[in-house]
Structure 1
């Protein structure tokens, strides 16, 4: 986690009012945190914005979901054909959403970190500060209603109350630090039993309040006397299991680990599998001893576990290529993990999904571009102006760089 201090309203500061170091030490992946009057969140999404999304943006599943009294409502009840010129069958129908809302159903707008600009920016900023992928959903619940029964998430969340009030009841985990393959539905009886006990936190969130819940903590929420709108920021933080999965992906490149098992090996017989297990563990140890941290980074990128980089403006970026000048300023696309790999006659930029190789004369300019700062094209070292423009055009075309606005 990248921590910091000061009075600037960073993305994390909009979620927790305490210093980042204190939050990391006392709460991150450990304990809930309820914070009062943290911020006004109506600039991110308000009730008018919800109406805009539902009535004028042509949303489709899975960007919308609805639930009532603990059960998810079939999408066919609020979606249908898109009409002339829209050959789709799952577009949200605003009049059907109205009917369900009017009957007490909860509306969930999903994936807003991809479609609503203020939340695209918030998710990107928070993801870069914390070093984790961030997803954002919005929950709208009519007065006196509850959409979902007590459950837990397999990722941590920040809850930001935008409008109305909502009562949250939080219980301790039935499984510590669950991962995605351990959803609450597989422990429904245990969850229901714990939910009958007194909660460790029973609080009403009002506009501007925030709540942090580590993964695994049971929770249920119900609207009180007004329409309740809150944002849930899901933090898909990596775990040691994630490291193991990245290593497993790399293991496919090791010949000693691709050796087939002896003919006739009975995987259901402990005595038959014992020597195979011993040989496999030995081969794993030998291979793991050869790995460097850079190898894990490579495996990590191959698993796709890293956060999406900041969005680019495709039209503006394409137009910029035609009129690029040495006076323009560029930077690495925010949130994109890049590293330089130098050889005697070449230099490569290694991205999560590809490697871009250039002549070695570009090495000094590449090193400077990857330092995270904004650079004037004409100031890049080791090249003349024509070569600077060729280099920057290529990296803009590869979407590794963006123009500084």
Structure 2
């Protein structure tokens, strides 16, 4: 199912035009396709994660009435052979929940398969990195004070009911270095005013909030559970940072300011600022868009996880290849093929592979993300196709076609 339509009932184009980074969106379960989100996470799954998966901090934390609890109040060593001291202690988690604490499961997009699948598909649609946390709150309790996030959020209610109050931003489109606790007074004052949304979310309901919107929530009647998908947008400020990072190669911008003067005086700074502006304009005019695109590509590669692969199955496939075998690019993997002398280089998020120029056509075919039988790869004979595929399987670039759906 189209993940964004499942969450909003809208196409990517409709969502981008009406709501992305602009306005909140509230959708009731009856307005959305599917049957809620219990298939993604439910309360028995939360119990399993806490009690049987060896969960460690920082993949869980707890909070009560706006205050984060000390890790020792819900963790301990895991016993013989697992003495690491910060593992979830199910009895301590129980005690904290009974006392009214909210349980937060962090980074679920890294460890719970249904969430992994949902977030991979949604990230591919949106084009921005995302993360997923779960919040489980006992009845009639609030986990966190009114605050805003520096990322956009989708709230997916999967269990119980929760009362949400949403207020306009005190800072529009805040960046990562502009968190809400720098503006506690303004946030608290704004939260006392009339909310723009005052509602109760029930299972299957979804709330989208652009970054900066204030929110707080309290469970009603029974244990409440919701998923928060945090979309970390690539911003124009990020682009500006990448541009500035490329300008250190300009000698005029590396010039020292004069000595023997008070550099804080406007009369002294005036000529230097004029020269700096001129150098910046000139450097930006010479800027290669490909340089900035490469920086964005590296950022997305570092912050977006490709689909999981099976190391043992990859090795087995690499050892048993034949020309009749089919492979495809690992879903979600960001890579870029460039010429490097007489050969080609495949740039991956954390490494680069040098390959002979003779395989360029075959690699370009694999990058289209379709299934490819090795015997049909262009520009190489069957033996070279098998050799290439074996290396790319061992490097985690391609996966067997029947395992990538």
TM-score class, shorter-chain normalisation, is over 0.9
Q: Which residue of 1 aligns with 2:306?
A: 309
1:98 aligned partner: 94
Taking the TM superposition and a 5 Å limit, the aligned residue runs for 1:247-326 are 247-263=243-259, 266-303=262-299, 306-326=303-323
Could you tell me how far 1:320 is from its partner in structure 2?
Answer: 1.6
Paired position in structure 1 for 2:325: 328
For 2:37, the equivalent position in structure 1 comes to 41
- Larger mean CA deviation between 41-50 and 280-289 belongs to 280-289
1:342 aligns with 2:362: no
Distance (whole Å) between structure 2 residues aligned to residue 266 and residue 113 of structure 1: 53
Find the counterpart in structure 2 of residue 381 from structure 1.
378
Partner residue of 2:352?
355
Deviations 1:346-367 (A, max 9, x none): 2222223333222221121122
CA distance in 2, matches of 1:94, 1:266: 62
Q: Determine the C-alpha separation between the residues in 1 that align with 2:87 and 2:358.
A: 53
Q: Does residue 235 of structure 2 align to residue 243 of structure 1?
A: no
Inter-partner Cα distance in structure 2 for 1:256 and 1:335? 41
Separation of aligned partners in 2, 1:388 and 1:50: 45
CA–CA separation in structure 2 for the residues paired with 1:17 and 1:391: 43
Structure 1 residues 274 and 312: alpha-carbon distance in aligned structure 2, compared to 1, 3 A threshold? farther
Deviations 1:254-288 (A, max 9, x none): 45444444445755333333333333332222222
1:68 and 1:104 in contact (8 A); partners too: yes
User: Which deviates further from its counterpart, 348-357 or 234-243?
Assistant: 348-357
Seen in structure 2, the aligned counterparts of structure 1 residues 61 and 269 have a Cα distance that, compared at 3 Å, is farther
CA distance in 2, matches of 1:182, 1:25: 26
Worse overlay, 337-346 or 83-92: 337-346
Structure-1 separation of matches of 2:293 and 2:15: 26
Counterpart of 1:27 (choices 19, 29, 36) is: 19
CA distance in 1, matches of 2:229, 2:48: 21
1:5 equivalent in structure 2: none
| Deviation at residue 193 of structure 1 after TM alignment | 0.6
Distance 2:325 2:255 in 1: 54
Alignment pair present for 1:162 and 2:158: yes
Q: Normalising by the residue count of structure 1, what TM-score does the alignment of the two structures yield?
A: 0.93
Q: CA deviation at 1:84?
A: 1.7
Q: How does 1:117-266 map to 2 (within 5 A)?
A: 117-263=113-259, 266=262
Aligned to 1:88: 84
Query: How far apart, in 1, do the equivalents of 2:103 and 2:356 lie?
Result: 54
Whole-Å Cα distance in 1 between the matches of residues 259 and 84 of structure 2? 52
Range moving further from structure 2, 366-375 or 213-222: 366-375
Secondary structure, counterpart of 2:221 in structure 1: coil
Q: Which runs of 5+ in 1 are unaligned?
A: 1-8
Q: CA deviation at 1:290?
A: 2.1
In 2: Cα distance, 1:21 partner to 1:219 partner:
26
Matched with 2:10 is 18
CA contact (8 A) 1:172 1:218 kept: yes
Offset at residue 110 of structure 1 (A) = 0.4
Q: Distance in 2 between matches of 1:286 and 1:340?
A: 30
Work out whether residues 249 and 303 of structure 1, in 8 Å CA contact, stay in contact via their aligned partners in 2.
Answer: no
Q: How big is each residue's C-alpha offset from its partner over 1:55-89, in whole Å with a ceiling of 9 and x where there is no partner?
A: 11111110111111111111121112222212312
Contact kept in structure 1, 2:4 and 2:11, CA below 8 Å: no
> Out of 99, 106, 113, which is 2:109 matched to?
113
Q: Which moved more, 1:272-281 or 1:74-83?
A: 272-281
Residue 401 of structure 1 is aligned with which of 387, 398, 401? Answer: 398
Mapping of residues 45-84 of structure 1, within 5 Å: 45-84=41-80
